[in-house]
């Protein structure tokens, strides 16, 4: 089996938001819609204060609450673990948006572009009217993955088959790959480092791993 | 722009709240027709008004969805979606209810009442399946939503019954007590299992809800019963309070206590060559 997941190395992320910009560029999301966000979290109390930059978005859960609630079956999970939305049958009820504990879903009611008007060339190139009034979210750049794997490329290794946010990351904090393959980049990262997943207690089995220290460092 | 801490969701507005308000009362009213049925009183108005209320609630949802002309796609996922199940149950209830009004057979009325109860059960679970909103996914909310719908329905039915009046009053006393108990369970759960902002909304709502929605109507009902039903105005006022407080409660839960989950990291990352990890943070969830 294959399960594609994202790994975010919180030790490396510098909060530059390049992944956010890359996602917006390639997917043409409207203002206010960020399928890939980076949170700037403050931890502790003065004078012992720390910052952490935390990339978030759809976690492509193995047990996605959005899939359970969707009345139209527009939300589906592929065999490779990627959670998708069929814009042609979604009724825009937003039930998935209130079911997602990761605040990953968006719905816009009109076409909008970054600088108004008809939009820039890159926005026009990827503009999809089917996305109006329906739920949208991060797709793990599923089109790139499908096109890449069709050419025999490996997602997470070959940039042509890898999500745009991962390709753009200046700090190599974001990684993508098949967690079911023990030799994949993401499997090694998860094996060699201390990690956690967000809101695991809700039983979603998210496909987004956060690295926070080298393995074995916790006991220091 | 969305932040890190839980914020009040804006996906479901007053129209979604209206579905729970009208749907709860409508289904409760149809269920309450069983009392009238037991006393041989007319029940068709219960069923008719109840179905109109349920239909109004569903109509409000239709106004809220982004692609209203695809509304029939709501029926595609009965295996797992409570929204689909609600749609199916409502459709069957409208059919059986229409037949009950046409033929007036007691079995059909009882069948409509059973379907109305199922509809209310679906509504309660629609909220509970919303894992992104802690105030909705809290398990003690589902029985509270059901108790509220039944209370509103029985309160509304007092305007339609005569022979079953006293028994309906007793039913209202029982349901108000049940709703107060359910509310207490929900409130206790909210103190630990919800974002601070949601817990604050519920805390502020609690005392007025208990006093005006439960204590006062119970006192009025009991007073009227003790006085031998000589002052039905007391009972009608109690019914208005029971009904109005139920609607206010549902509007409050859907619109004002609906804080999102927010974000959390359970470990602080080690940064820099000499950095070390530590405890994480869960903003908006108390200290």
Q: Look up the ipTM and state it.
A: 0.95
Q: Shortest Cα distance from B128 to chain A (angstroms)?
A: 9
pLDDT of residue B122: 98
Nearest to B67 among A52, A92, A99 (CB): A92
User: Does B212 lie at the interface with A, CB-CB under 8 angstroms?
Assistant: no
Report yes or no: B87 at the A interface, CB cutoff 8 Å: yes
Q: Does the beta-carbon distance from A93 to B279 stay under 8 Å? A: no
A21: helix, coil or strand? helix
Chain A with chain B: Cβ pairs closer than 8 A: 176
Q: Distance (Å) from the C-alpha of residue A194 to the closest C-alpha of chain B?
A: 10
Nearest to B84 among A40, A42, A71 (CB): A71
- Per the rule left: phi > 0, alpha: psi between -120 and 50, beta: everything else, A49 is beta
C-alpha distances in angstroms, B277 versus A13, A21, A119, B148, B244? 15, 29, 44, 48, 52
CB contact under 8 A, B74 and A68: no
How is A100-152 classified by DSSP, letter by letter? Answer: -TT---B-BSS---TTSTT--HHHHHH--GGGBTS-B----SHHHHHHHHHTT
Q: Evaluate whether A153 touches A160 at the Cβ level (below 8 Å).
A: yes
For residue A102, the domain's CATH number is 3.30.70.20
Query: Which candidate in B61, B81, B136 is best for mutational testing of the A interface (most A CBs within 10 A)?
Result: B81
Chain A contact for B66 (CB, 8 A cutoff): yes
A46 falls within a domain: yes
Per the CB < 8 Å rule, is A91 touching B9? no
B12 CB within 8 Å of a chain A CB: yes
Instruction: Render pLDDT for A102-126 as a digit per residue (tens, 0 to 9).
Output: 999 999 999 999 998 889 888 899 9
| pLDDT tens sequence for chain B (287 residues) | 578 999 999 999 999 999 999 999 999 999 999 999 999 999 999 999 999 999 999 999 999 999 999 999 999 999 999 999 999 999 999 999 999 999 999 999 999 999 999 999 999 999 999 999 999 999 999 999 999 999 999 999 998 998 889 999 999 999 999 999 999 999 999 988 899 999 999 999 999 999 999 999 999 999 999 999 899 999 999 999 999 999 999 999 999 999 999 999 999 999 887 888 899 999 999 86
Q: Which domain holds residue A152?
A: 4-215
Cβ contact A69–B4 (<8 Å): no
Write the residue in B11, B82, B266 that is nearest to A94 by C-beta: B11
Interatomic CA distance for residues B33 and B53, integer angstroms: 15
**Which chain A residue has the Cα nearest residue B71?**
A91
Q: Is residue A220 part of a domain?
A: no
Domain presence at residue A114:
yes
With CA atoms as reference, the chain B residue closest to A93 would be B65
Q: Does B130 touch chain A (CB under 8 A)?
A: yes
CB-based contact B74 A93, cutoff 8 Å? yes
Angle, CA of B275, A12 and A157, to the nearest 5°: 140
Overall fold of domain B14-261: Formate dehydrogenase/DMSO reductase fold (1.20.1630)
Number of domains in chain A: 1
- The pLDDT confidence band at residue A220, using thresholds 50, 70 and 90, is very low
Cβ distance A98 to B9 less than 8 Å, yes or no, reads yes
Please report the pLDDT score of residue A195 as a whole number: 97
Residue A203 included in any domain: yes
Q: Find the residue in B nearest to A135 (Cα).
A: B66
Nearest to A95 by CA among A131, A121, A129, A69: A69
pLDDT at A145: 98
Q: Which pLDDT score, from 0 to 100, does residue B287 have?
A: 62
Under a CB-based contact definition with an 8 Å cutoff, are residues B257 and B135 in contact?
Answer: yes
The minimal CB distance from B12 to the residues A56, A68, A98 is found for A98
Q: Does the distance separating the beta carbons of B87 and A196 come in below 8 Å?
A: no
Closest Cα in chain B to A195: B267
Biggest distance spanned by C-alpha atoms of chain A: 57
Contact A71 B279 (CB under 8 A): no
Domain residue ranges of chain B, discontinuous segments joined by +: 14-261
**DSSP assigned state of B68:** G
Which residues does chain A have within 8 Å of residue B14's beta carbon, measured at their own beta carbons?
A: none
A214: nearest CA partner in chain B: B270
CA A104, distance to chain mean position in Å, is: 8
- Is some CB atom of chain A closer than 8 A to the CB atom of B140? no
Question: What are the distances in angstroms from CA B276 to CA A8, A11, A188, A216, B95?
Answer: 17, 10, 21, 12, 65
CA-based nearest distance B211→chain A, Å: 31
Name every residue whose Cβ is closer than 8 Å to that of residue A108 and which is 6 or more positions away in sequence.
Answer: A30, A32, A33, A131, A132, A133, A136
CB contact under 8 Å between A69 and B266, yes or no, is no
Residue A12 has pLDDT above 80, yes or no: yes
Nearest to A212 among B66, B132, B270 (CB): B270
Best residue of B60, B259, B267 to probe chain A, by most A CBs closer than 10 Å: B267
Distance from CA of A148 to the nearest CA of B (A): 32
Q: Is B1 within 8 Å of chain A by CB?
A: yes
Task: Please check whether residue B259 touches A, CB under 8 A.
Answer: no
Question: In this prediction, what percent of chain A has a pLDDT beyond 90?
Answer: 91
More confident residue, A1 or B59: B59
Which SS3 state, helix, strand or coil, does residue A205 take? coil
Neighbour-count burial of B177, counting CB atoms closer than 10 A to its CB (0-12 exposed, 13-18 middle, 19+ buried): middle
Question: Measured between CB atoms, does B283 come within 8 Å of chain A?
Answer: yes
């Amino acid at each position: 089996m294959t399960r594609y997941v994202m790994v975010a190395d919180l030790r490396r992320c510098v909060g530059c938001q390049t992944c956010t910009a890359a996602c917006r560029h390639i997917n043409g999301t409207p203002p206010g819609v960020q399928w890939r966000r980076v949170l700037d979290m403050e931890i502790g109390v003065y004078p012992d204060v720390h910052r952490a930059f935390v990339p978030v978005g759809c976690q492509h859960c193995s047990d996605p609450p959005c899939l359970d609630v969707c009345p139209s079956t527009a939300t589906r999970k592929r065999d490779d673990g990627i959670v998708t939305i069929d814009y042609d049958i979604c009724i825009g009820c937003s039930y998935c948006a209130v079911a997602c504990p990761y605040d990953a879903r968006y719905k816009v009611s009109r076409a909008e572009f970054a600088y108004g008007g008809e939009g820039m060339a890159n926005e026009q190139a990827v503009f999809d009217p089917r996305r109006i009034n329906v739920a949208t979210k991060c797709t793990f750049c599923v089109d790139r993955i499908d096109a890449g794997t069709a050419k025999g490329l490996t997602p997470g290794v070959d940039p042509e088959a890898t999500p745009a946010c991962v390709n753009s990351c200046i700090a190599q904090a974001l990684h993508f790959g098949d967690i079911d393959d023990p030799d994949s980049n993401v499997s090694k990262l998860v094996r060699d480092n201390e990690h956690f997943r967000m809101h695991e207690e809700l039983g979603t089995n998210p496909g987004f791993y956060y690295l926070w220290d080298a393995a074995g460092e916790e006991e220091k | 722009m969305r932040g890190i801490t839980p914020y009040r969701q804006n996906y479901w507005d007053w129209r979604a709240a209206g579905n729970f308000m009208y749907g709860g009362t409508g289904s409760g009213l149809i269920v309450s027709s069983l009392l009238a049925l037991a006393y041989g009183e007319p029940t068709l108005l219960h069923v008719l008004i109840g179905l109109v209320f349920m239909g109004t609630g569903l109509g409000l949802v239709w106004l809220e969805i982004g692609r209203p002309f695809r509304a029939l796609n709501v029926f595609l996922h009965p295996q797992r979606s409570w929204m689909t199940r609600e749609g199916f149950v409502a459709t069957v209830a409208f059919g059986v209810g229409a037949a009950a009004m046409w033929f007036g057979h007691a079995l059909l009325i009882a069948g409509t009442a059973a379907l109305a109860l199922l509809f209310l059960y679906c509504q309660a679970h629609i909220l509970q399946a919303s894992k992104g909103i802690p105030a909705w996914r809290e398990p003690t909310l589902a029985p509270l939503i059901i108790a509220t719908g039944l209370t509103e329905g029985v309160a509304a039915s007092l305007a339609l019954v005569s022979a079953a009046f006293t028994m309906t009053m007793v039913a209202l006393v029982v349901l108000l007590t049940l709703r107060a108990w359910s509310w207490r369970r929900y409130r206790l759960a909210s103190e630990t299992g919800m974002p601070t902002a949601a817990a604050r909304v519920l805390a502020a709502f609690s005392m007025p809800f208990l006093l005006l929605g439960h204590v006062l109507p119970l006192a009025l009902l009991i007073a009227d019963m003790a006085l031998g039903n000589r002052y039905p105005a007391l009972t009608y006022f109690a019914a208005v309070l029971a009904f109005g407080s139920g609607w206010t409660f549902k509007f409050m839960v859907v619109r004002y206590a609906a804080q999102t989950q927010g974000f959390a990291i359970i470990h602080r990352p080690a940064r820099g060559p000499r950095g070390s990890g530590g405890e994480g943070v869960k903003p908006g969830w108390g200290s």
